[in-house]
Amino acid sequence: MLDRRKSVGAAFVAVATASTLALTLTPAEADFSPQPNDVVSTGSDIIQNSFNFLADGYHEFPGYNAAGNRWRFVNFDSSGDAQGRSAFTDPRLLPTVTGNGTVGENGIKYVKQTDIKLLNPTISLRAGQDLVVRPSGGGGGGRDAIINDDQGWIDIGRSPDPLTPENQALAQSKLDTKLIRVQIATDRQLIATSTDSNAPATLSAEAILKIYHGDYKKWGDIPGYSGPAPTETIIPLLLPTDAGMWNTFLANVKRQNPAVAVTADYLRGNTNSIGVQQNDPTAITGLTTDALRKNAIVPFPRGRFRTLNKGYYTTTSDGAKTNNYNTEPGHRTAASAAGIKLLDADSEVDIAENTAPYGGNFAYNAIVRERDLNSTTPWQPGSTLNWVKALFYNPGGPKPFVRTPAGEQLLTAAGVTPNYHVFGTNNAEIETD
Amino acid sequence: MTTTLTRSRRPIVIAVAVGCVAIVAALVFWRVNGEAAATVPYDDAKSAGLLTLCSADGKAVTEGKLDDSPFADIVLGETALPSHLDPTGAVATLFAYQPRDGVATTEFSGNAITAAVEFAEPDEPAARVDEGAWTIGDFVTAFPADDDGYVQLRLVLGTPEAGTLSDQPYDTADLRVDGDAWELVRGGTASCADAESALLP
């Protein structure tokens, strides 16, 4: 496996890199703390944008909180970064090894890459309460966080994954209630390439499997390839194993290649692969040579691609400068998806065949307690609706906010497709219309 | 037989006629402006103007059933987007609020009824109410009209640059629910004939 920092040896990262990481650290945060009746969600980073839009709106589209009601809908981002990037512990505090000119530059101090750990930023989940480590990710910070939340501080778990019978049993034992899963939208993971890529117009699920496993290393290895660069090396970009989009990628490849026993290790077998952050267009555009950039592929969520093109995200000039707000015209420079494209970009339907183009839908779920759905305590003053019914699922009553024209407009603005399904405590779908 | 008024009775007839004209004029004025002049049991200091509810065929909507969907097709405001804002992409969103006795209007609970809708002219805000929007019945199910049946509508503006103008004055209309019906108690009197043109296609 190649690595961006291979020039200094697999065991080391340059001090320059360490400095960059140090400058992008996310400090322990003491931002907004919800009041007791505010509704709090934690979990998935890919889903956090749409939930933020639903709560607080986006540009001219008002979110739920724009109504000015007494109690608010509050989302905590997954990693502590609104753009979903990972933060790391301070590498300046790690043991160093001094380069000798053969390994690393002579006299320069290096740290081991494996010593650098993800930062666990902290938050106060409720006003006035002691800090906790921020629940992060759809599995651990969404589904599992609500299952383990005997404090009642987390109301909604954001997760792309369905619930299992084991999840329900655990919730029953820990919370004395089971869980309801409300799918509010669908996103789709596709393959991103550079806009001038040597890749063909579509890549089959089988080709993706064989590229990531290392069976296909050059474009010409793909049967039927008629592009301009059959002899050039394909660069599969690898998402971190703890990234939600990696799990989605693994699940999609498995589903579309049912005859192969696909595992995470199996998909990380191509020695030409490069590790990158998830959902980051600079994973491709930032590659240092045309040979890498034009031959790189990476799984990428379409919702993120679309919101990138709306200018929602900002460039951060990682490590190059701080307080961009004070120095950049308009306080920011919008990030964009310029330079990358999605293969089979307009596809909608999952096809569980290895000959079909790679692509897989994934759900934007709100996981809530059944007890909260059945609560007879109204949420907003004067209302009859509890918060689950007001926001997510109101059987037999007025549509919850996520299904109103305002809610669906916000989901569309977040780049995803409103798609409403509810799954009960037995994990079976409940008819809603 | 022809009756000729005597000279002495003519002033009485004229006075009666003038009185009748005055009464008719007053009735006409009341019919035209009656809603605007009506009072409601709350005073919203942020209400800058009145909303006119229109049907798709260009008529004013002043009453309906709770389950009418939509309860009106187009809502016309009368207060312009603040002039210091770039009007490009300006939108209006209709909200409904629940008046509560003894509670300030700023503390009313409510919900967005429509999506944000782009309107054509910055001084003529408007929103479309789609069939997917809550009915008045939906609203009072979620937020019962316990203050003598009143429901307040607010048209909140926004722009891509400035976001939702939650802190700005808004136009309002006041409905009153009775049984399975609602009526407009206080609203605007704009012409609905050309209401569709207030919205961008």
Output phi, psi for A354, to 5 deg. -75, -15
Q: Which of A66, A404, A408 sits opposite B164 (nearest CB)?
A: A66
CATH code assigned at A193:
3.40.190.10
- Number of folded domains in chain A? 2
A52 min Cα distance to partner chain B (Å): 14
For A255-312, what is each residue's pLDDT tens digit? 999 999 999 999 999 999 999 888 888 889 889 899 999 999 999 999 999 999 888 9
**What pLDDT is attached to residue B44?**
96
**What pLDDT is attached to residue B154?**
98
- The DSSP secondary structure of B94-132, one letter per residue, reads EEEEE--TT--GGG-EEEE-S--EEBS-TTS-EEE--TT
- Place B39 in a pLDDT band, splitting at 50, 70 and 90: confident
A108 inside domain: yes
Which residue(s) pair with A75 in the sheet?
A: A41
Residues A95, A219 within the same domain: no
pTM: 0.87
Chain B residues with CB-CB distance to A406 below 8 A:
93, 112-116
**The tokens of A397 are what?**
């009553």
A304 inside domain: yes
**The tokens of A296 are what?**
């790189």
Residues A228, A100 within the same domain: no
**What pLDDT is attached to residue A205?**
97
For B91-136, what is each residue's pLDDT tens digit? 999 999 999 999 999 999 999 999 999 999 999 999 999 999 999 9
**What pLDDT is attached to residue A87?**
79
Average pLDDT score over residue span A352-369: 97
Most confidently modeled of A76-90, A237-251, A349-363?
A: A349-363
Residues A270, A347 within the same domain: yes
A112: closest CA among A226, A18, A48? A18
**The tokens of A14 are what?**
């340059």
- Measured over the CA atoms of residue A380, residue A384, residue A388 and residue A389, the dihedral's sign is negative
For A56-66, what is each residue's pLDDT tens digit? 999 999 999 99
**What pLDDT is attached to residue A15?**
36
Closest chain B residue to A402 measured between Cα atoms? B112
Residues A252, A348 within the same domain: yes
Residues A294, A208 within the same domain: yes
- Place B25 in a pLDDT band, splitting at 50, 70 and 90: low
- Is the Cβ pair A62, B112 closer than 8 Å? yes
For A176-205, what is each residue's pLDDT tens digit? 999 999 999 999 999 999 999 999 999 999
A2 inside domain: yes
Output phi, psi for A408, to 5 deg. -65, -35
Which residue type, as a one-letter code, is found at position A92?
R
Q: Is it the case that residue A240 has pLDDT exceeding 90?
A: no
| Share above pLDDT 90 across residues of chain A, in percent, rounded to a whole number | 73
**Residue scoring higher pLDDT (A433 or A207):** A207
- Place A380 in a pLDDT band, splitting at 50, 70 and 90: very high
Q: What is the dihedral of CA A189, A191, A193, A197, to 10 degrees?
A: -150
Spatial contact of A41 and A158, defined as CB atoms under 8 Å apart? yes
Identify the domain boundary among A300, A331, A362. A362
Residues A238, A326 within the same domain: yes
- Is the Cβ pair B160, A59 closer than 8 Å? yes
Q: Is it the case that residue A315 has pLDDT exceeding 90?
A: no
Identify the domain boundary among A61, A95, A120. A120
| DSSP label at residue A127 | T
Helices (H) and strands (E) in chain B, counts: 2, 12
Average pLDDT score over residue span A20-30: 38
**What pLDDT is attached to residue B6?**
52
| DSSP label at residue A404 | S
Average pLDDT score over residue span A424-429: 98
**What pLDDT is attached to residue A28?**
39
Q: Which of A57, A380, A397 sits opposite B141 (nearest CB)?
A: A397
- Is the Cβ pair B164, A404 closer than 8 Å? no
A329 min Cα distance to partner chain B (Å): 15
Average pLDDT score over residue span B140-158: 98
Half-sphere exposure of B110 (CA within 13 A, CB side): 26
- Is the Cβ pair A62, B130 closer than 8 Å? no
**What pLDDT is attached to residue B15?**
58
Residues A339, A208 within the same domain: yes
Q: Which of B144, B158, B161 sits opposite A62 (nearest CB)?
A: B158
A274 inside domain: yes
Task: Tell me which residue range forms the domain holding A279.
Answer: 187-362
Residues A110, A259 within the same domain: no
**What pLDDT is attached to residue B9?**
59
Output phi, psi for B192, to 5 deg. -95, -5
Spatial contact of A155 and A267, defined as CB atoms under 8 Å apart? no
- Measured over the CA atoms of residue B160, residue B164, residue B169 and residue B172, the dihedral's sign is positive
Residue spans per domain, chain B: 1-37, 42-198
Average pLDDT score over residue span A212-238: 97
Residues A110, A228 within the same domain: no
d(CA A43, CA A156): 8
Report the residue of B69, B113, B164, B166 to disrupt the A interface, i.e. the one with the largest count of A CBs within 10 Å: B164
Helices (H) and strands (E) in chain A, counts: 14, 16
- Is the Cβ pair A62, B100 closer than 8 Å? no
- Place B13 in a pLDDT band, splitting at 50, 70 and 90: low
Q: Is it the case that residue A150 has pLDDT exceeding 90?
A: yes
**The tokens of A422 are what?**
């509810």
d(CA A318, CA A304): 20
Residues A332, A250 within the same domain: yes
Chain A residues with CB-CB distance to B98 below 8 A:
382-383
Half-sphere exposure of B142 (CA within 13 A, CB side): 31
- Using alpha carbons, list the distances in angstroms from residue A37 to A72, A263, A287, B196: 8, 43, 47, 41
- Place A95 in a pLDDT band, splitting at 50, 70 and 90: very high
Alpha helices, DSSP H only, in chain B?
Answer: 10-37, 136-142
| DSSP label at residue A92 | G
State how beta strands A360-369 and A73-75 pair.
unpaired
Spatial contact of B177 and B149, defined as CB atoms under 8 Å apart? yes
**The tokens of B10 are what?**
């003519």
Residues A209, A310 within the same domain: yes
d(CA A114, CA A318): 21
B150 min Cα distance to partner chain A (Å): 13
**Mean pLDDT, chain A, whole residue set:** 90
Which range has the worst mean pLDDT, A67-71, A83-87, A202-206, A424-428?
A: A83-87
For A326-344, what is each residue's pLDDT tens digit? 888 889 988 888 899 999 9
Q: Is it the case that residue B75 has pLDDT exceeding 80?
A: yes
A237 inside domain: yes
**What pLDDT is attached to residue B35?**
44
- The DSSP secondary structure of B43-54, one letter per residue, reads --TTEEEE-EEE
* Neighbour-count burial for A23-52, b at 16+ CB within 10 Å, e otherwise: ebbeeeeeeebbeeebbbbbbbbbbbbbbb
Average pLDDT score over residue span A378-402: 98
Identify the domain boundary among A317, A336, A362. A362
- The DSSP secondary structure of A52-64, one letter per residue, reads HHHHH-BTTB--G
Chain B residues with CB-CB distance to A70 below 8 A:
107, 109
- Place A421 in a pLDDT band, splitting at 50, 70 and 90: very high
ipTM value of the model? 0.86
Q: Is it the case that residue A166 has pLDDT exceeding 90?
A: yes
- Is the Cβ pair A382, B146 closer than 8 Å? yes
Report the residue of A60, A72, A73 to disrupt the B interface, i.e. the one with the largest count of B CBs within 10 Å: A60
As a whole number of Å, the end-to-end CA separation of chain A is: 50
d(CA A335, CA A313): 5
- Is the Cβ pair B164, A70 closer than 8 Å? no
State how beta strands B63-65 and B117-118 pair.
unpaired
Q: Classify A132 as helix, strand or coil.
A: strand
**What pLDDT is attached to residue B150?**
98
d(CA B30, CA A274): 77
